[in-house]
Amino acid sequence: MQIGSLRVTFPFVMAPMAGYTDLPFRLLVRRLGCELAWTEMISAEGLARRMPSTRELLKTHPEDRPLVVQLFGANPESLARAAVQAEEAGADALDINMGCPVKKVVQTGAGAALLKDLKRAEAVIRAVRKAVSLPLTIKIRLGWKEGEAVYRTLALMAEGQGVEALILHPRYALQGFRGSADWSAVAELKGSLKIPVIGSGDIVTPEQALKRKEETGCDGVMIGRQALRTPWIFTQIREMEERGTYSIPHIQGRREWLFSHWQWVDGHYTGQAQVQALRRFLFILTRGLPGSGAFRQRTAMAKTPDTLKELFHEYFDSLGRME
């Protein structure tokens, strides 16, 4: 998959997810087979004002490549300034979020609100395209609500303005994650555009990821929520491509990956932010394991990283005795 000057050899990519796809998690999924990853959604206004907490989200690492920085905003000038900062911080590509349906984002005119204002969407794209030379993508939905599909018009406009790849989550903004993603719309866009099209939505297994790519002819598949639950899905897709089957990670394999992630979190966060980040991923990555409910209840009460670490080792020691 070729996105402008960026060549991607493994087109199954990690989605941007606020609060989750931070640097430690991106490093984890890269070790588990992911090649191309997106940052969390980053406020263009926050970057334009050089807010330290927002600039922290641009932090990267030599192993965190190639990296797409996703920006959200409604002001073309602010987005242009933010794009320059992202380029200076080492981004390999930029993405403009035009699909987030979260109320606090939409209320500012950003995210999925741009699906209701294509003139502003065009102004945003033009401003960012003029400001930087990095490969540029946009992430969109079908439209604001059913009966108001704008994805075809928006996609063609974006291509004409120099956008070099398009990611479509084929639901309407007001659907949130309800219903099913309509991948026929991904196939339709692939047939209409010259630039790469990446499909997103409802990918839960390696088989499904490969099937969606084959059925729609899309250039890439973006994986979001399932990669939080099973970050090794990228390794499994690679195995499926190579030999038609894939392995299921054993419990101690999960332990090793979690501990590796732990070390990155330890170096990236301090204080309560560290505790919250560790707890968040312990909750997700132990889901479905024996005794995980009781384990999560205990970790919810932990106040320090050391306490969490002790609980972590106790829990996985007990699982090891079950294997």
Domain ranges for the chain, please list them: 2-243, 251-322
Least confident of 43-52, 196-205, 279-288, 297-306: 279-288
Which pLDDT score is estimated for 322?
57
Q: Kindly state the percentage of the chain with pLDDT values over 90.
A: 76
Q: Work out the mean pLDDT of the chain and round it to a whole number.
A: 94
Is the per-residue pLDDT at 321 higher than 80? no
Q: 100 catalytic, yes or no?
A: yes
Q: Which of 1, 17, 38 is nearest to 177 (CA)?
A: 17
For the whole model, what pTM was predicted?
Answer: 0.93
Q: Which of 59, 115, 49, 111 is nearest to 82 (CA)?
A: 49
**What are the tens digits of pLDDT across the range 222-245?**
999 999 989 999 999 999 999 999
pLDDT-derived band at 323 (thresholds 50, 70, 90) equals: low
According to the per-residue pLDDT averaged within each range, which of 142-146, 259-263, 278-282 is highest?
A: 142-146
Q: Which of 91, 189, 77 is nearest to 140 (CA)?
A: 189
Query: Annotated catalytic residue: which of 48, 69, 100, 128?
Result: 100
**What are the tens digits of pLDDT across the range 126-178?**
999 999 999 999 999 999 999 999 999 999 999 999 999 999 999 999 999 99
Q: Where are the beta strands (DSSP E) in 50-183?
A: 67-72, 93-98, 136-141, 165-169
CATH superfamily of 2-243: Aldolase class I (3.20.20.70)
Q: Kindly state the percentage of the chain with pLDDT values over 70.
A: 99
Mean pLDDT of 165-194: 97
DSSP 166: E
Rounded Cα distance between 44 and 41, Å, is 9
